[in-house]
Amino acid sequence: MSADGGDLVTVRTRFAPAPSGSIHVGNARTALYAWLTARHHAGSFVLRIEDTDASRVTEEGLRGTLESLRWLGLDWDEGPEIGGPHAPYRQSERRDIYHEHAERLVSTGHAYRCYCTPEELEERRKEALAHGRAPGYDGRCRTLTERERAAFEGEGRPWALRFWMPDRDFIVHDLVKGDVRFAAGSLGDFVILRSDGSPTYLLAAGVDDMLMEMTHVIRGEDLFASTPRQIALMEALGATSVPRYAHHPLIVGADRQPLSKRHGATSVEAFRERGFLPETLVNYLAILGWSYDDETTFFTREELIERFDVARVSKNPAEFDTQKLEWMNNRYIQHLDQEDLAARCVHFLTEAGLLVDPQLLRRAMPLVNERMKTLREAVDLLRFLFTDDVEPNDKAKELIAKAGPEYLAKAAGALEAVEPWTAETIQRALDALAEGAGLNRTKGWQPVRAAVTASNVSPPLPQSIELLGRDRAVARLRAVSSA
């Protein structure tokens, strides 16, 4: 595949987060689309950290971003902790590179010093709006005379460096949005170095995409307006080709507004801690705005790599549906083998303060895998197996009180007499107990469930009692019958 329709080149994509906290699922989807594009074409996926704004980026946020990407299985070929031919991969370590290219733009007449103060810019913006003109920068400092520049310098007036935007049409050939034309004069000159010497996003990202030989830039449509500016900047720096761009719509909530914390969990780490599988989240994010056909929902990682094409990404925003994600997660959980599922549940059980018996946990998996929407639900479903410090919940207390101590004492005796200790013989004993009391199975079993599991909801009762063991089950029944 080629970046510009010409000779074949190695496809190179990148993900360039500014890690100020847990990675948002929208950013994770961007990373996934870039990763899949690189892997589909046997190319390279580059991780670049946009940390020039020290007030926003934290080391903790960086570590969280790297961990989230690893958890999702989005490995990078170049970047932090790996290195590569275009190192360093943190923009905070590339400031000299940006200054060098900014000076090149000045020397070739493509950039100039702008002495306009924020107050002056705001005043001119309001004036333009009042007269029905576009509020962008009016080019005031483009053609300053040497005397005017000297006067500003003599005042000690701070300056920023602006790129002189060519006065011509720009057509962006976007792989998602199609061809989009920006008319001459609609794009004002823009700042590339701030007055404190720090590079702007437009300069840093444009220079890095050029130097790191990106063939495809895949990012959210909120950055689309920067594209013609970065193309102009790269051309001014002598780039012989520019990347192919793909700007995907943002993820929205049910109210069609951009997904944010008001919609619930929005970060990869939050979904991980809720007990979603990385396979599920990758699959769901992939199809959130992209489709291979009208029928297929579930894809293995290998199938995604084989079939993904960013050109098939929808132009319309995709709604994040947590219920669908939970449904998909349940399906993935059901298809895990019991040992793998048990291993993934251990973290949540131990985090809840439970002492886990690995063998017992593996035996319990077939009882709960169809019920679990998330791994964290294993805590409530299986707590009764891994601690004897059980306090019945409110509904369980009601069931115990309604049944009365005599019925529960009879249940203890019935279970104590069961031989052999299997789910089948336990079930027969519970049915006989209920029948003897003139109860149907539901009403006869529920108080036993409440006493043994401390909950009104549990895995299948006979199997649960079998796993709990005769001594522990009988002890709990006697305890509540004598309370």
From the candidates 126, 261, 315, 402, give the one annotated as an active-site residue: 261
CA 426 to chain centre: 46
177 among known catalytic residues: no
Q: Kindly provide the b/e burial profile for residues 233-270, where b requires at least 16 CB atoms within 10 angstroms of the residue's own CB.
A: bbebbebebbbbbbbbbbbbbeeeebbeeebebbbbbe
> 299, 283 in Cβ contact below 8 A?
yes
Q: Alpha carbon of 222 to those of 246, 418, 427, 478: distances in Å?
A: 12, 67, 60, 64
Query: H or E stretch including 130?
Result: helix 118-130
Q: How many CA atoms lie within 13 A of 328 on its CB side?
A: 23
Q: Tell me the two tokens of residue 51.
A: 């940390």
Residue labelled with tokens 């539901």: 442
* Angle between helical axes of 25-40 and 278-287 (0-180°, round to 10): 80
Q: For residue 282, which of 270, 295, 265, 268 has the smallest C-alpha distance? A: 268
Catalytic residues: 261
